[in-house]
Amino acid sequence: MRSHYCGELNESLIDQEVEICGWVHRRRDHGGVIFFDMRDREGMAQIVFDPDTVESFALAETVRSEYVLKIKGRVRARPEGTVNKDIPTGGIEVLGKELTILNRAETPPFQLDEHITVGEDVRLKYRYIDLRRPEIAEKLRFRSKVTSNIRNFLDHEGFMDIETPILTRATPEGARDYLVPSRTHSGEFFALPQSPQLFKQLLMVSGMDRYYQIAKCFRDEDLRADRQPEFTQIDIETSFLEESDIMDITQRMMVKLFKDELNVDLGEFPHITYADAMNRYGSDRPDLRFGLELVDIKDLMAAVDFKVFSGPANDPKGRVAALKVPGGASIARRAIDAYTKFVGIYGARGLAWIKVNDLSQGLEGLQSPIIKFMPEDVVMQLLDRLGAETGDIIFFGADKAKIVNEALGALRVKLAEDLDLFEREWAPCWVVDFPMFEELEGGALTPLHHPFTAPSCSLEELQKNPAEALSRAYDMVLNGTELGGGSIRIHDQDMQKIVLKVLGIGDEEANEKFGFLLDALKYGCPPHGGLAFGLDRIVMLMTGAASIRDVIAFPKTQSAACVMTDAPSEVSQEQLRELSIRVRKPVTEDGSSS
């Protein structure tokens, strides 16, 4: 039907006849001449119809926005003064000769250039129109380049692309499962995979050696900003490699991707231990584009006469930390109040601060609601430890370590954004030496990664002191975002059973849930390990998209629904009967069922 894409036309085609197909982006009538901007996947071109081509001109007059047209015409240079330098085809236009209306379009629910004014729900309901917007289409095109780049790299490194089932059993990755009722096994359910974790491990038992998959994963998580219930992982598993090898391969993959697609040199990937990351950045995905490190002052505050600080300083689970912001003394009181509110989101009950107005004047030169509670020598030691200078502000966190880390960790990122403290555009790192387990309230242990991650200690040590055990897990972090994470896995049945036991999963439950894995570990399982990257997040970071929804063709809303297809939806009684399911509607507040 066509000889060129609209966006491909250029000066080299001047005087040639072309045929293009696409959508009418805009129509303008100018002094007896009709102009269209025609749009297709590759871009926009200007078409002109003058009244000399009588039939086509008459037809062109009936054309509206978003009609689908085929146009035959001649490329010519745009007249002087009408060249549009902003678009690649801005130096030429097509003088239309023949026009075919391939399809009409009703007035669309929103004009593409007015998308900002309509709510996201409207855009998602008519997502196929929203995707016509060049900036969104561009993100999908970029995503396609990313997957292709990664596939090429992994194919080249000897990885095999193997699909794993979608209808399967639960894989514990810390979220709720999406369940699918089975018709043929009444009363039983499949779970959609939270990740292909166990299948990829089984593929190693099979000897596949190097596996990858661009895999859909499903997690029914509590609604948190910018998460999707289904998302895509670049899932990787290898045999007979140590963590350093796996980190090396995947780091090279990421470096190549950024170089090829963005011409960015990611540079060095420093390794930071989990403990260090928490201490210095309050986060296991530290943003290293700027400094602003947390400094521990627990020892200094243990004896002060200020409960807010001395309490946590004497609590083994407490933390007292300071965050110095160079030049921050000019932060206004109102802004400090806003930051106090901000850290409240993370459970902090306040935000103490000291402004260093003039260091040379000692206490006199400081301004703070809290220094009156501290002996002068403690304040001086504090300033010394932080290397405080005139013009700085120091913020404090004192609470359970978890709260201080989350609050000051988030505050440091917010301050960097507000005060534009970024020193580099890209700052990757590896976080290593994670704890095996995290203690829940009440003392139970839960895996920090997943229950198949190998500990760095022996079986005996693990049994003796599980809460202190470190794991062989690693996360790749970029600009404060976890790009991916993985681990060396347990390949020994006894170790796997012990880890499950530490997690409170007894033999019977272990056999019921993971019997197939425990069996496989008996039949010649090689040492293996891998990791998975979040594709959506990578594309989001690389394109600078504001939301993960912008890099997914058909995303779900924040409440995990699809407003376009109206999914999830009710199903017929007949379908339910076949599945042996009776739906119990949630009871509403007045006691009736809705």
Least gap, CB of 486 to ligand ASP (angstroms): 4
77 forms bridges with which residues in the sheet?
A: 92
Does the footprint of ligand ASP cover residue 486 (CB under 6 A)? yes
Does the footprint of ligand ASP cover residue 173 (CB under 6 A)? yes
Least gap, CB of 552 to ligand ASP (angstroms): 18
Stretch of 142-150, 277-285, 393-401, 526-534 contacting ligand ASP, by CB under 6 A: 526-534
Does the footprint of ligand ASP cover residue 73 (CB under 6 A)? no
Interface residue with ligand ASP, options 112, 374, 532, 551 (CB under 6 A): 532
Does the footprint of ligand ASP cover residue 541 (CB under 6 A)? no
Assigned token pair, 333: 């009181």
Compute how many other C-beta atoms are within 10 angstroms of the C-beta atom of residue 589: 6
Does the footprint of ligand ASP cover residue 197 (CB under 6 A)? yes
The alpha carbon torsion through 446, 449, 454, 458 (nearest 10 deg) reads: -40
Assigned token pair, 191: 């779970």
Q: Would you give the DSSP letter of residue 107?
A: P
Does the footprint of ligand ASP cover residue 487 (CB under 6 A)? yes
The alpha carbon torsion through 61, 66, 72, 78 (nearest 10 deg) reads: 80
Give the span between the Cα atoms of 139 and 141, in whole angstroms: 5
Closer residue to ligand ASP, CB minimum distance, 9 or 234 = 234
Closer residue to ligand ASP, CB minimum distance, 435 or 485 = 485
Binding to ligand ASP by CB under 6 A, coded x per residue (else -) over 442-481, reads --------x-------------------------------
Least gap, CB of 490 to ligand ASP (angstroms): 12
Give the span between the Cα atoms of 408 and 399, in whole angstroms: 11
Q: Applying CB under 6 A, what is the total number of residues that bind ligand ASP?
A: 10
Q: Which of 139, 224, 149 shows the shortest CA–CA distance to 544?
A: 139
Give the span between the Cα atoms of 539 and 543, in whole angstroms: 6
Binding to ligand ASP by CB under 6 A, coded x per residue (else -) over 130-169, reads ----------------------------------------
Locus of tokens 């019921």: 512
Q: Would you give the DSSP letter of residue 14?
A: T
Interface residue with ligand ASP, options 193, 318, 451, 530 (CB under 6 A): 530
Does the footprint of ligand ASP cover residue 485 (CB under 6 A)? yes
Least gap, CB of 442 to ligand ASP (angstroms): 25
Least gap, CB of 269 to ligand ASP (angstroms): 18
Give the span between the Cα atoms of 396 and 590, in whole angstroms: 47
Locus of tokens 């301050």: 415
Closer residue to ligand ASP, CB minimum distance, 409 or 485 = 485
- Backbone torsions φ then ψ of 207, nearest 5 degrees: 95, 15
Least gap, CB of 277 to ligand ASP (angstroms): 18
Burial of 411 (0-12, 13-18, 19+ CB in 10 A): buried
Q: Which residues bind ligand ASP (CB under 6 A)?
A: 173, 195, 197, 450, 485-487, 530-532
